[in-house]
Amino acid sequence: MDCELWTSNVRCSSGTVWADSLPLPMPSNSPTRFRTWSFVGPIAFPELRPLEHSMFAPRAAPIVGPLWARIMAGTFDRAMLEIMHRVMFAPDKPPENWKRTYPWERILDPDAAVANGEDFAAIHPLAPHARINIESIQTPAHVLSGMADLIVEDLRQAVPLARTLPNARHSRIEGVGHMLHHSRPDAVLNAVREALGRSS
């Protein structure tokens, strides 16, 4: 689900942004390392996510989690992911080239499922490390969100993130879903350029 774009010392993370993992802790822990940040379709605050927390997060559990991951990888995951892909791209459709090159073998690997389960568990509201000090991030940032996002509702995540970051702008793009970086790559590149202009 994630795509990362690097230029010299600009960090742009497109897709899902987890509350306790990259990229949010990086600007808070290393405030001078990067000139700008662009957050696209972010999950910045813990929230209950019934599908992820019931079907994927348990795979991070000790002992039984990896076993569960192996069972589900061979029986459930591919069909569920194909449905999720359609929801992720909605109201657009997954591009044919994207579907042809999707790394199914790597994504369906049980060890990868365990790692993804850890990410999903981390955004549970009761997770002990689910929050970071977002207010401490002074780096110029540009938050982008699709107003038609069915995966991460921007009113619950992107809007409050942009309000909480001390030096951020927010672009809400109408008619675009979660895969904003595929549907509107021009918007992502413009956000990077705009943030660079504010950091110079």
Instruction: Grade residue 108 by pLDDT with cuts at 50, 70 and 90.
Output: very high
- Whether the Cβ atoms of residue 124 and residue 53 lie closer than 8 Å to each other: yes
Q: What is the pLDDT of residue 199?
A: 62
Q: For the whole model, what pTM was predicted?
A: 0.80
Record the tokens describing residue 191, joined without a space: 């956000």
Q: What is the pLDDT of residue 20?
A: 40
Sheet holding 3-7, edge to edge: 3-7, 10-14, 37-40, 141-146, 168-173
Fold of 3-47+133-199: Rossmann fold (3.40.50)
Q: Which residue has the higher pLDDT, 54 or 196?
A: 54
| Domain residue limits, the chain | 3-47+133-199, 50-122
